[in-house]
A and B are shown apart, each in its own frame.
Chain A
Amino acid sequence: MESIYDIIEQTACDLYIRALQEIPQDIRLALLRGQKAEQEQNNETATQMMLTILNNIEVADRDHTLVCQDTGLPIFHVTVGSDAPVSIPELKAALTRGCERATRERPLRSNTVHPLTRKHTGTNTGVGIPVVHLDFVSGSSEIELQLAPKGSGSENMSFLRMLNPSDGIKGIHKFVLQCIFESGARPCPPVIVGVGLGGTSDVASGLAKRASSFRKIGSVNPDPDVARLEQELLHEINQTGIGPQGLGGATTALAVHIDWAHTHISQNPVAVNMQCWRGERAEAVITAAGEVRLPQAELAGSQK
């Protein structure tokens, strides 16, 4: 009988490949809305860019090829039920083996290098990679795996500013728009903008990443003040006219997602992380019995 770790390894391997080949449904719909918006405004180049993006997704579906050549760095968010039959160190080792297998067997381009020598590991794993974030919930025996193999064009456009508390909400608007302006064409717009508010510097950065790369488009922050800021920022960002691929147009961002934490009386941390139009991510749930459950939309996508 397969051990739970074999199943975790296989699932991590499958998720890595699936995230690079199958664009999530919410991203597809947002891209389609963007294409229609550009067409309605007679933005010829922007419409062409959006049509090419949609065409590219169709080709990847049809030929089972990678949507983008950047196979990224694998980032996992894992939620472990308190009754799940796993040891955490072995779970992390199984995730690493899964990434290595996907890289070897598919094969995927490996991107992991030593930060000083730039020497390749060749496996898309290494010191600190894959990134594994762990959450725990009580009363469950399941393991939920979410993977985003984050590409570099968007990741290089990451920002952190420790604003003054007196900079207030206006300071947040200014900083986010400055990040969008500085990023311009580089992060492959239309982007999903993740904003992390509060916490400490590392917490804000982590929240921004989770918001850009793991939240579905259409999800809204449950705090109404934060939700309003999400809407306002999206509107302002799309007012800039940077547009698809930075060549001008109405669709600079597909969504703005803000996640927050409480912070110190004298701090006002704001982090910004971009996700490119591909919005690569995949997820699965592993039950205590070793069954692998896929979310409904992805299940439909994988049956073709």
Chain B
Amino acid sequence: MSEYHLRAPFDESTMRRLQLEDRVYLDGTLFGIRDATQHRIFDEGVAPPADLTGAVCIHTAPGVRKRPDGTYEKISIGTTTSPRMDRFVPGLLRQYGVRAIVGKGGLLQPSVEAMQSFGAVYLAIVGGAAALETLQIEEIEQVWWEDLMPECLWKFRVRDFGPLIVAIDAHGNSLYQKVQNQAAARIKALGFA
């Protein structure tokens, strides 16, 4: 297991180098997306107003306070459950060039395969650890689609954002699947399958 400090945008070879259970810390730009954001992109067919080539996206809907000048102050920023938004992942990778998804709860097989095809990874964060995440997000730099509040498209600037665990790599391996396979075998061994 290795530890990396990375700054987006990423290229394919960096992503292909990462292995399951490697530890990653992010610096620089991180985009926030959630259900409604991706519903707009993929179901309503509106192209995202920011360039996501090589980007890292996090599944989030932050708690914020609007300042008089129109910018946003962070109140509590944390991560939501990824499998709910699984169907959008292949599109983010193929159409918009996203290289990494930060989330909790993992992704399903079609996303694992898409990550293998396009050279992208899933980075697991500790779900519910928003106090820490909010501290590691230095600033909300930009917000698009404010009508979807709080499920807008967010641009954050982060420092030492992590620890993140490589839980799906760019070679078709999923730590979640590995753990679930083991769990199924153990439940069977207990006689409760």
Cα(A233)–Cα(B183), bound, Å: 15
| In the complex, chain A residues 52-98 whose Cβ is within 8 Å of any chain B Cβ | 52-53, 55-57, 59-60, 63, 65-71
Interface-forming stretch among A130-138, A202-210, A240-248?
A: A240-248
Question: Contact between B184 and A241 (Cβ–Cβ < 8 Å)?
Answer: no
B190 touching A236 by the CB < 8 A rule? Answer: yes
Q: Which of A67, A177, A185 contacts B176 (CB 8 A)?
A: A185
The 0/1 profile, CB within 8 Å of A marked 1, for residues 114-131 of chain B is 000000000010111111
| Cβ-defined contact, A188 with B76, below 8 A | no
Are B81 and A153 closer than 8 Å at their CB atoms? yes
Residues B83 and A186 in contact, CB atoms below 8 Å apart: yes
Q: How many interface residues does B have (CB within 8 Å)?
A: 48
Q: Known contacts A66-B131, A236-B192, A241-B179: does B77 contact A188 (CB below 8 Å)?
A: no
> For the complex, is A286 an interface residue (Cβ under 8 Å from B)?
no
In the complex, A49 Cα to B104 Cα: how many Å? 12
Q: B6-14, B43-51, B56-64, B94-102: which lies at the A interface?
A: B56-64
Assembly CA distance A64 to B180 (angstroms): 36
**Counting CB contacts under 8 A, is B90 at the interface?**
no
What is the total number of residues of chain A having a CB less than 8 Å from a CB of chain B? Answer: 51
Q: How far is the CA of A259 from the CA of B60 in the complex (A)?
A: 34
With contacts A48-B165, A241-B183 known, is A56 near B126, CB below 8 A? Answer: yes
**Cβ contact within 8 Å between B124 and A245:** yes
CB neighbours of B190 from chain A (8 A): 177, 236, 239
Measured between alpha carbons, how far is A184 from B176 in the docked complex, in Å?
A: 8
Q: Give the contacting residue for B63; candidates A109, A177, A188, A247; CB below 8 A.
A: A109
Contact A188 B186 (CB under 8 A): no
**Residues 135-190 (chain B) with a chain A CB within 8 angstroms:** 135, 150, 163, 165, 167, 175-176, 178-180, 182-184, 186-187, 190
Please give the distance in Å from B15's CB to the nearest CB on chain A.
19
Q: Which residues of B contact A239 (CB under 8 A)?
A: 186, 190
Q: Write the B67-82 contact mask toward A (1 if CB under 8 angstroms, else 0).
A: 0000000011111110
**DSSP class of B's interface residues: helix, strand, loop or mixed?**
mixed
Whether B19 sits at the interface, judged by CB under 8 Å, is: no
Residue of A nearest to B134 (CB): A65
Complex Cα spacing A107 to B127, Å:
21
Whole-angstrom distance between the Cβ of A100 and the nearest chain B Cβ: 16
| A239–B184 alpha-carbon span in the complex (Å) | 11
- Inter-chain contact B63/A71, CB cutoff 8 Å: yes
Q: Is the CB of A153 within 8 A of B128?
A: yes
Chain A residues within 8 Å of B193, by CB: 174
In contact, A188 and B130 (Cβ under 8 angstroms) = no
Seen from chain B, the residues whose Cβ lies within 8 Å of a Cβ on chain A are 1, 21, 23, 60-63, 65, 75-81, 83-84, 104-106, 124, 126-135, 150, 163, 165, 167, 175-176, 178-180, 182-184, 186-187, 190, 192-193
22 A–B contact pairs at CB < 8 A?
A48-B23, A59-B131, A65-B130, A66-B134, A68-B127, A69-B63, A107-B63, A152-B81, A153-B128, A177-B187, A184-B105, A185-B176, A186-B81, A188-B105, A236-B190, A239-B186, A245-B124, A247-B165, A247-B167, A247-B179, A276-B128, A277-B128
